[in-house]
């Protein structure tokens, strides 16, 4: 049976949530497999706007099983709040949600570390994390000694584990300058809080790896929901201005615990322009009126932190790189309506570095900072398109723009989005998304 994955191809917020919600109709299971509540995925259904952090965007479709797999990092309190928030709005969250006992748990010390480290990086520019403790939790996972997984919270040894880690973290955080000399983590209180959360989460906790492996054998249709975007991938993104997990297609197998070859279709999500939140290089950034226009029209403010997103032109060099990295089969071009009022639109078709044209996205962040984008100018369409539902009804200039994106990036466009609502979607008939 086919399995699909949805991957953001830029710096996150490409509207993955909307596409996952739409594709859920053709799937039995939806899986979040990396990242945590640094993600903010929006689904607009029936006029209601839902913001999801960790719960898969498939949660709104009855009969679909949602899985938060072992490659994620989670803060139990935030997860419970998310469950409660959805339940209060009439969304059913019960047996249809399963959370891996292998997922790593975010503790108060991780928030403190995130806050302290964010401005002390090796690079002078701050990464500008979401301050959700994501990086510190993944660091402990890789370091092993101070890591605690969800499954550990149900063992008799949990209290000892908390005491050991809290003592070590008190020492290390004090040396980082947290809270002055008297800084002390209260292991007893943390143990109590987390034990209470664990009890409430107990009905959802399962061995999701075993569940997914059985589901594959049973021929279930699985949809993997990537978080962040490939340019924020810990290994392949604009390091160190990245998140701490593999947010390109490379993360699916490791994060979900499934063989990589079960994924038969990769859907790549692109905004019709580019945005980035936080620090790091952004070659096509428009820190000017054009950028502000896109920010205003696209409501480009972070779903999680409400920070204004940096905005710029579509970068085909970066997109061609991430499309190949995840071997994308078909593209979804989102937020096309945001560009409607611009008289002309630029696409970055190449980079110049030290006066020479380069075709590959540079591996070092300093070079990404130094590249000079080469632009091609296309006419705008100066006409609202939010009500268009058929590709052929788009203005010619809009169609030309979309097809130029597909051409430059080297993959077909199967879906165009002209508004946040489920209905504001154009499926390109000739493509199989
Ligand atoms: P995600 O993190 O990739 O799921 O994306 P976000 O939810 O963080 O950001 C995408 C934003 O764009 C959300 O507010 C969506 O409701 C909105 N959105 C999605 N598709 C469209 C579209 O085609 N046009 C417009 N104007 N907004 C859209
Ligand atoms: P979704 O899934 C956009 C960015 C942060 C920061 C960097 C590291 O909604 O697309 P972290 O807290 O992960 O250590 O922050 O990554 N970032 C995102 N930007 N969308 C996201 O998720 C992001 N998740 C993290 O702004 O620059
Ligand atoms: Mg988002």
Contacts of 130 (CB under 8 A, 6+ apart): 37, 38, 278, 302, 304, 305
pLDDT in tens, 260-273: 999 999 999 999 99
How far away, in angstroms, is 304 Cα from ligand 3 center? 7
The answer to whether the CB of 364 falls within 8 A of the CB of 286 is no
| C-alpha separations of 132 from 37, 40, 345, 380, 413 in Å | 7, 12, 36, 39, 34
- What percent of the chain lies above the pLDDT cut of 90? 90
pLDDT at 46: 84
Across 204-233, average pLDDT: 98
Report how far residue 431's alpha carbon sits from residue 422's, in angstroms, rounded to the nearest whole number. Answer: 19
State the virtual CA torsion across 22, 331, 240, 180 in degrees, nearest 10: -20
Across 299-316, average pLDDT: 92
Which run of H or E residues covers position 86?
Answer: helix 76-88
**Which of 131, 240, 277, 332, when mutated, tests ligand 2's pocket best, judged by the most ligand atoms within 8 Å of its CB?**
277
Residue 182 has pLDDT above 70, yes or no: no
Residue 1 has pLDDT above 80, yes or no: no
Contacts of 192 (CB under 8 A, 6+ apart): none
> Which region among 17-26, 183-192, 209-218, 225-234 has the lowest average model confidence (pLDDT)?
183-192
> Which region among 59-63, 102-106, 118-122, 378-382 has the lowest average model confidence (pLDDT)?
118-122
Residue 122 has pLDDT above 60, yes or no: no
Ligand 1 binding pocket includes 338 (Cβ within 6 Å): yes
The reply to whether 13 belongs to the active site is: yes
Across 335-353, average pLDDT: 97
Contacts of 96 (CB under 8 A, 6+ apart): 59, 62, 63, 64, 65, 66
Nearest of 432, 22, 24, 73 to residue 224 by alpha carbon: 24
| C-alpha separations of 52 from 43, 60, 360, 403 in Å | 8, 11, 34, 31
The answer to whether the CB of 64 falls within 8 A of the CB of 28 is yes
Q: Looking only at Cα atoms, what is the longest distance across the chain?
A: 67
Which run of H or E residues covers position 253?
Answer: helix 251-256
The partner residues of 73 in beta bridges, in order of sequence, read 104
Looking from the CA of residue 338, the nearest atom of ligand 1 is 26
> Which region among 132-141, 232-241, 299-308 has the lowest average model confidence (pLDDT)?
299-308
How far away, in angstroms, is 68 Cα from ligand 2 center? 18
Residue 59: pLDDT band with limits 50, 70, 90:
very high
pLDDT at 121: 58
pLDDT in tens, 246-294: 999 999 999 999 999 999 999 999 999 999 999 999 999 999 999 999 9
Average pLDDT over the chain reads: 95
pLDDT at 431: 81
Nearest of 49, 57, 62, 58 to residue 89 by alpha carbon: 49
Task: Write down the catalytic residue from 27, 41, 104, 110.
Answer: 41
Looking from the CA of residue 304, the nearest atom of ligand 2 is 9
Which ligand has the minimum distance to the alpha carbon of residue 17? 1
pLDDT at 93: 98
**Which of 129, 270, 282, when mutated, tests ligand 2's pocket best, judged by the most ligand atoms within 8 Å of its CB?**
129
Contacts of 104 (CB under 8 A, 6+ apart): 72, 73, 74, 137, 138, 140, 141, 147, 148, 149, 150
Looking from the CA of residue 299, the nearest atom of ligand 1 is 14
Residues touching ligand 2 (Cβ under 6 Å) are 8, 11-13, 38-41, 127-130, 132, 134-135, 227-229, 232, 243-244, 277-278, 303
How far away, in angstroms, is 15 Cα from ligand 1 center? 4
Contacts of 29 (CB under 8 A, 6+ apart): 58, 64, 65, 66, 67, 212, 215, 220, 221, 222, 223
Across 301-313, average pLDDT: 90
How far away, in angstroms, is 423 Cα from ligand 1 center? 13
Which ligand has the minimum distance to the alpha carbon of residue 35? 2
How far away, in angstroms, is 227 Cα from ligand 2 center? 9
pLDDT at 382: 93
- What percent of the chain lies above the pLDDT cut of 70? 97
pLDDT at 285: 98
Pairing of strands 274-276, 310-312: antiparallel
The reply to whether 390 belongs to the active site is: no
**Which of 35, 43, 420, 422, when mutated, tests ligand 1's pocket best, judged by the most ligand atoms within 8 Å of its CB?**
420
Residue 123: pLDDT band with limits 50, 70, 90:
low
SS3 content of the chain, % helix, strand, coil (to 5): 35, 20, 40
Residue 124: pLDDT band with limits 50, 70, 90:
low
> Which region among 2-11, 110-119, 400-409 has the lowest average model confidence (pLDDT)?
110-119
Report how far residue 164's alpha carbon sits from residue 147's, in angstroms, rounded to the nearest whole number. Answer: 11
């Amino acid at each position: 049976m086919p399995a699909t994955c949805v991957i953001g191809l830029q710096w996150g917020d490409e509207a993955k949530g909307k596409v996952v919600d739409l594709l859920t109709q053709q799937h039995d299971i939806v899986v979040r497999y990396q990242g945590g509540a640094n993600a903010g995925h929006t689904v607009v259904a029936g006029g209601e706007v839902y913001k999801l952090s960790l719960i898969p965007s498939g949660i709104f479709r009855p009969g679909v099983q949602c899985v938060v797999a072992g490659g994620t990092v989670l803060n139990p309190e935030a997860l419970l709040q998310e469950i409660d928030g959805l339940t209060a709005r009439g969304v059913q969250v019960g047996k249809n949600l399963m959370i891996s006992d292998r997922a790593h748990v975010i503790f108060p010390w991780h928030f403190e570390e995130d806050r302290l480290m964010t401005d002390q990086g090796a690079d002078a520019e701050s990464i500008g994390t979401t301050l959700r403790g994501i990086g510190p939790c993944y660091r402990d996972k890789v370091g092993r000694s101070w890591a605690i997984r969800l499954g550990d919270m149900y063992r008799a040894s949990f209290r000892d584990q908390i005491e050991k880690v809290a003592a070590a973290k008190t020492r290390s955080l004090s040396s980082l300058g947290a809270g002055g000399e008297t800084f002390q983590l209260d292991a007893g209180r943390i143990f109590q809080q987390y034990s209470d959360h664990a009890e409430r989460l107990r009905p959802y906790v399962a061995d999701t790896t075993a569940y997914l492996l059985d589901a594959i054998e049973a021929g279930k249709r699985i949809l993997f929901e990537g978080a962040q975007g490939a340019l924020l991938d810990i290994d392949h993104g604009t390091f160190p201005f990245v998140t701490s997990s593999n947010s390109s297609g490379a993360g699916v197998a490791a994060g979900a615990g499934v063989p990589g070859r079960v994924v038969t279709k990769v859907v790549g999500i692109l905004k019709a322009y580019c945005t980035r939140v936080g620090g790091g290089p952004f070659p096509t950034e428009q820190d000017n009126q054009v950028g502000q226009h896109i920010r205003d029209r696209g409501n480009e403010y972070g779903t999680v932190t409400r920070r204004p997103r940096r905005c710029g032109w579509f970068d085909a060099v970066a997109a061609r790189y991430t499309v190949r990295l995840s071997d994308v089969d078909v593209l979804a071009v989102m937020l096309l309506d945001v560009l409607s009022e611009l008289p002309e639109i630029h696409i970055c078709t190449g980079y110049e570095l030290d006066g020479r044209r380069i075709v590959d996205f540079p591996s070092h962040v300093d070079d990404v900072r130094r590249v000079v984008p080469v632009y091609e100018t296309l006419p705008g369409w100066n006409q609202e398109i939010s009500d268009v539902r058929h590709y052929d009804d788009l203005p010619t200039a809009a169609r030309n723009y979309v097809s130029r994106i597909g051409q430059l990036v080297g993959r077909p466009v199967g879906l165009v989005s002209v508004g946040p609502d489920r209905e504001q979607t154009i499926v390109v008939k000739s493509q199989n998304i």
